[in-house]
Structure 1
Amino acid sequence: MHILIIEDNADIIANLYGYLEPLGYTLDVARHGKAGVLCATTSFHDAIVLDLSLPGMDGVEVCRVLRQEYQLTTPILMLTARDTEQDKVTGFAVGADDYLVKPYSLPELDARLKALVRRARNEHVQAVLTFDELQLDSSLLRVSRAGQVLDLTPTGYKILTALMRAAPKLLTREELAREVWGDEPPDSDALRTHIHSLRRVLDKPFTYPMLLTLPGTGYRLMSSDEAKTVP
């Protein structure tokens, strides 16, 4: 998972790196609030670890700006020494998803981050994803369109799963690559090749395309109602 840490305490940053990196996390760090906002809104992250006591712009304001001004949906876990009920209420009110009080257990932090990401991806509640004519049953690894079973490659299945979770919203190429290959994505030609193969199975046998490419940006799925409005 790719995590953004917005924290100004060097010792805490070192502890997080020392514990999380061996578990396979990729970490970015911003040491003050404005840098955190910039990093969060210009790069993809699976979750954000946000300290409340930051120089310049505190964590509450950072969270408010990300949620209200940028409409960022990335899960946010607040780390703070403030443990009053009102502090927690304020954090949740501006858009935090979870709250961990210092001193905290690193294994608990790891577990909470994983739970937040699972929740954001709907992995723990949706065995069957549905979008328009598409149905994906993750328990059977079965995908169908208009009742016709699609023969997808393993990578094609991962790509379509990510697109269906986001549908009808767009996934950037970077976001899609991370969903499929984690923190070691191949070059962009590999993604284009897999998209081409997926489109051949997903769209070619049917009357309208569902997989759309926005050149230079990313990919998304289109519904039948939207397809009727496309010349």
Structure 2
Amino acid sequence: MSSTILIVEDHSDLAANIGDFLEAGGFTVDFAANGPLAVQLAANNHYDAVVLDIMLPGIDGYEVCHQLRNQLGLGMPIIMLTAMDTLDDKLTGFDRGADDYLIKPFELKELEARIHALIRRQRGELENSILAIGGLTFDTQTMQVSRAGKSLKLSPTGLKILRLLMRESPKVVTREQIEMEIWGDDAPDSDALRSHLYTLRKVIDKPFDQQLLHTIPGVGFKLCDDSQ
């Protein structure tokens, strides 16, 4: 199955090199040299993945990613490209909805391999795009979450945690598994995960009678309906 990639990069030589390499590998490629054009193209075309530079004219890659996820409701994989390699930069990208992060300079073969892996994972999820547990539903195509008919709003990080917990339900998911899903090998030293789980629990459980998100002391977390 052929895949179409949107490359968002303002350095024309680099964009051309990436495009030529991916086209040689069988991808169809589209280009945007600034943030607003990237959002416009994504709103009007289907892309299987986005390769997104952070430093862009108009609006930066973080804002592009945020608009694709939160305003347009798009769930395609997004790989961020940047020369900024601090942990805070990476966490900002993941929090805005990025799926992967590649530091410049990089090998084109590695970029291609990451794109293939993300698209395979995405297509596997789409085979079962509606996750449902105890009245809680998560449409992984539109990234819409609801419970008992009420729409729920979650951050990109909250959506990643919820998707993992629902996908693995009723199994227990360890803290390490969740951290790997969100941050890869660069999990923060602070207890950021505790904060994200607190916020997630407040959104999906607090307004309702039945608790779905359970803490298993010393092991991890699980999302299940114990009433069934």
Scaled by the length of structure 1, the TM-score of the pair is 0.53
Q: Are positions 1:7 and 2:9 aligned together?
A: yes
Question: In the superposition, relative to structure 1, how do residues 119 and 13 fare at CA in structure 2: closer, same or farther (>3 Å)?
Answer: same
Q: What is residue 71 of structure 2 aligned with on the other side?
A: 69
Q: What is residue 20 of structure 1 aligned with on the other side?
A: 22
Q: What is residue 35 of structure 1 aligned with on the other side?
A: 37
Please give the alpha-carbon distance, in whole angstroms, between the structure 2 residues aligned to 1:34 and 1:166. Answer: 23
Question: Which amino acid in structure 2 is aligned with residue 23 of structure 1?
Answer: G
Q: What is residue 84 of structure 1 aligned with on the other side?
A: 86
Please give the alpha-carbon distance, in whole angstroms, between the structure 1 residues aligned to 2:79 and 2:39. Answer: 15
Question: Which amino acid in structure 2 is aligned with residue 2 of structure 1?
Answer: T
Q: Are positions 1:60 and 2:62 aligned together?
A: yes
What SS does the aligned partner of 1:122 have? helix
Question: In the superposition, relative to structure 1, how do residues 21 and 49 fare at CA in structure 2: closer, same or farther (>3 Å)?
Answer: same
Q: What is residue 45 of structure 1 aligned with on the other side?
A: 47
5+ long unaligned stretches in structure 1: 132-164, 170-231
Please give the alpha-carbon distance, in whole angstroms, between the structure 2 residues aligned to 1:12 and 1:5. Answer: 10
Please give the alpha-carbon distance, in whole angstroms, between the structure 1 residues aligned to 2:96 and 2:8. Answer: 16
What SS does the aligned partner of 2:115 have? helix
TM-align CA RMSD: 2.4
Please give the alpha-carbon distance, in whole angstroms, between the structure 2 residues aligned to 1:8 and 1:166. Answer: 29
Deviation at 1:75?
0.8
5+ long unaligned stretches in structure 2: 131-139, 145-228
Please give the alpha-carbon distance, in whole angstroms, between the structure 2 residues aligned to 1:94 and 1:45. Answer: 18
Please give the alpha-carbon distance, in whole angstroms, between the structure 2 residues aligned to 1:70 and 1:12. Answer: 27
Task: Tell which structure's C-alpha radius of gyration is larger.
Answer: 1
Question: In the superposition, relative to structure 1, how do residues 24 and 89 fare at CA in structure 2: closer, same or farther (>3 Å)?
Answer: same
Q: What is residue 107 of structure 2 aligned with on the other side?
A: 105
Please give the alpha-carbon distance, in whole angstroms, between the structure 1 residues aligned to 2:90 and 2:45. Answer: 27
What SS does the aligned partner of 2:98 have? coil
Runs of 4+ in structure 1 displaced over 2 angstroms?
A: none
Q: Any conservation in 1 of the 2:129–2:141 contact (CA below 8 Å)?
A: no
Deviation at 1:130?
10
Tell me the matched-pair count.
132
Please give the alpha-carbon distance, in whole angstroms, between the structure 2 residues aligned to 1:130 and 1:29. Answer: 28
C-alpha distance after superposition, 1:110-153 (max 9, x if no partner): 00000110111117x98xx699xxxxxxxxxxxxxxxxxxxxxx
What SS does the aligned partner of 1:103 have? coil
Please give the alpha-carbon distance, in whole angstroms, between the structure 2 residues aligned to 1:23 and 1:33. Answer: 26
Deviation at 1:46?
0.5
Please give the alpha-carbon distance, in whole angstroms, between the structure 2 residues aligned to 1:73 and 1:49. Answer: 14
Q: What is residue 225 of structure 1 aligned with on the other side?
A: none
Deviation at 1:18?
2.2
Please give the alpha-carbon distance, in whole angstroms, between the structure 1 residues aligned to 2:38 and 2:129. Answer: 35
Q: Any conservation in 1 of the 2:74–2:141 contact (CA below 8 Å)?
A: no
